[in-house]
Structure 1
Amino acid sequence: MGKRSKRQNSIEFMKENRRLFSCPICNNEMDVHDDGEVFCSNRHNFTIAKQGYVNFLTKPVRSMYTKNLFESRKVVIDSGLFNEMHKQVATIIGNSVKTILDTGCGEGSHLARICEQLNDEVVGVGVDIAKEGIITAAKYYDRKIWCVGDLADSPFREQSFDVILNILSPANYGEFKRLLKQGGKLIKVVPQSEYLMELRKQVFANSKKELYSNEQTVVRFHEQFMNVSQQRITYKVPIEKELIPKLIEMTPLGWHAETHDISLEELTIDLDILVGEV
């Protein structure tokens, strides 16, 4: 027998974990056929693509995020810029969890690096509304389930996940609570005041955007959960010159910057890790 294709591997892995899914149209349970069709009893069906992901969007969505942005983000994350954050999040998760959902996962690098530090049996699922991000995730990371989807029309079954990750991404707290198992954890990572400050000072010099506060985001998180822990993680990382254009392209700051005007020798990573339990 020849080597199985990426699509065949994805079909098999999704079949093993079909209990996680419900139809984003009617909320019925879903099954996975050997031919890669994902369907419910009302005959709503979706197809696992040849790249190994499934698109659960029920209507067209335009995204401002491009393939180049996600490729750049992977290069930056691979450089180790967020290693300390990944270690801390993995420590918070521990080795007893079985299912993790990364919401707004992009090209999947955060989820993949965190799962590398956990037990081999953990099932990692990534969802993003940007198709280009999910295609990139499926290209690089096997033994994960990658979904194009909108949390407003979620393709996941109620109380399916032990942990939900929400890393530098918008939140949908109502859906997070629906999807978490009893006793499950939401781990939200948000920028702190000095996050990427060397870059912000050059892009937004002498403007209000040079400064940043996450106060409103943190207050809202505390309003959503009774049992909340919060820790700040801050460190500096040296930046190679060739990484600067990639770094700029992967952030919204890049929409305002000319790369040839930016000079960096180091970068500050300053994040709050918020943990809420249900």
Structure 2
Amino acid sequence: MSYSCPLCHAPLTRRENSYICPQRHQFDLAKEGYVNLLPVQHKRSRDPGDSAEMMNARRAFLDAGHYQPLRDAICQQLEQTGAAQLLDIGCGEGYYTHAFAEIVSQTWGLDVSKAAIRAGAKRYPQVNFCVASSQRLPFDDNSMDTVVRIYAPCNPQELARVVRPGGWVFTATPGPRHLMELKGLIYEEVHLHAPHSEQLEGFTLQQYKQVAYRMTLSGLEAVALLQMTPFAWRARPDVWEKLQQQKEFHCQTDFAIHSWQRDA
């Protein structure tokens, strides 16, 4: 299986170091081994996705193993599917993706951030990485056995299009008490995350699993965690300084994993 053209949706054929469609749209492989399938007209900004600074913070935090229980839980689910093709949407620099590739023989990682994809492709050559939009997945209809989506937005109609009947979508989202202590440093009043209410048309929810545990972080790890969050921009300078000076910072995790199966 290969990619489809993001411009005309025809199949892309690999020719040496390029992918070309019958309409002669051409996409070259970067020296790191990934392909950029995000045309300029599909970008919402000049350099979309996470910055290099955010990516490096996330990479250091994840490499320390703080979210490994989440990765292990999803891998356990994958082992039961017998999938041969998997797409990781919003894969970042591939921390989760390379573990999935040890289970599923053909694994693709997709992200809108070129910096993250470049880093992932250099580190994990066993994964097929591409820069692309989750709103326009560059894959054929019914081409994926499994899609994993960890915190990543996606067009649900695209999920229904690319996942074959009987295939799976695994999503990971914040549970009610996720990162409560960190949020308590930023907000005067901390609210629990709302209960998960997503519905995927064309899929049936088969299983829900909660993964929750307390982390003990160094000050620098807590800073890296804050840089990973969508509420980092609300943190005052004194919050960053206070975190960095901590010898230990205790923080709750709370993940919700949903297993959806494509209707026949």
What root-mean-square deviation, in Å, do the aligned CA atoms of Structure 1 and Structure 2 show? 1.8
Query: Aligned with 2:255: secondary structure?
Result: strand
Q: Distance in 2 between matches of 1:222 and 1:172?
A: 10
Which residue of structure 2 lines up, in the alignment, with residue 98 of structure 1? 84
Which residue of structure 2 lines up, in the alignment, with residue 27 of structure 1? 9
Equivalent positions of 1:104-143 (< 5 A) are 104-116=90-102, 118=103, 122-143=105-126
Which residue of structure 2 lines up, in the alignment, with residue 66 of structure 1? 51
Q: Distance in 2 between matches of 1:64 and 1:58?
A: 14
Cα pair distance change 1:265/1:151, threshold 3 Å: closer
Q: Distance in 2 between matches of 1:271 and 1:203?
A: 21
Q: Distance in 2 between matches of 1:202 and 1:64?
A: 26
| Gap runs ≥5 in structure 2 | none
Give how far 1:115 is off. Answer: 3.4
Which residue of structure 1 lines up, in the alignment, with residue 227 of structure 2? 249
For residue 211 of structure 1, the aligned residue among 191, 196, 200 is 191
Q: Distance in 2 between matches of 1:127 and 1:30?
A: 16
Q: Deviations over 1:71-122 (max 9, x none)?
A: 1111111111111111111111116211110111111212123434x2xx62
Query: Aligned with 1:100: secondary structure?
Result: strand
Residue pair 1:108, 1:137 contacting (<8 A) in 2 also:
yes
Cα pair distance change 1:221/1:174, threshold 3 Å: same
Residue pair 2:90, 2:134 contacting (<8 A) in 1 also:
no
Q: Which amino acid aligns with 1:59?
A: V
| Gap runs ≥5 in structure 1 | 1-18
Normalised to the residue count of structure 2, the TM-score between the two structures is 0.88
Give how far 1:64 is off. Answer: 5.4
Cα pair distance change 1:189/1:270, threshold 3 Å: same
2:140 counterpart of 1:167: no
Query: Aligned with 2:96: secondary structure?
Result: helix
For residue 234 of structure 1, the aligned residue among 212, 215, 239 is 212
Q: Distance in 2 between matches of 1:234 and 1:227?
A: 21
Give how far 1:222 is off. Answer: 5.8
Q: Distance in 2 between matches of 1:134 and 1:180?
A: 23
Residue pair 1:99, 1:161 contacting (<8 A) in 2 also:
yes
Cα pair distance change 1:237/1:224, threshold 3 Å: farther
Give how far 1:164 is off. Answer: 0.4
Q: Distance in 2 between matches of 1:214 and 1:125?
A: 31
Residue pair 2:160, 2:201 contacting (<8 A) in 1 also:
no
| Number of equivalenced pairs | 251
Cα pair distance change 1:49/1:157, threshold 3 Å: same
Give how far 1:241 is off. Answer: 2.3
Cα pair distance change 1:222/1:21, threshold 3 Å: closer
User: Stretches of 4+ moved more than 6 A in 1?
Assistant: none
Mean Cα deviation higher: 245-254 or 84-93: 245-254
2:63 counterpart of 1:78: yes
Give how far 1:228 is off. Answer: 3.1
Q: Which amino acid aligns with 1:32?
A: R
Which residue of structure 2 lines up, in the alignment, with residue 15 of structure 1? none
Query: Aligned with 2:69: secondary structure?
Result: helix
Query: Aligned with 1:151: secondary structure?
Result: coil
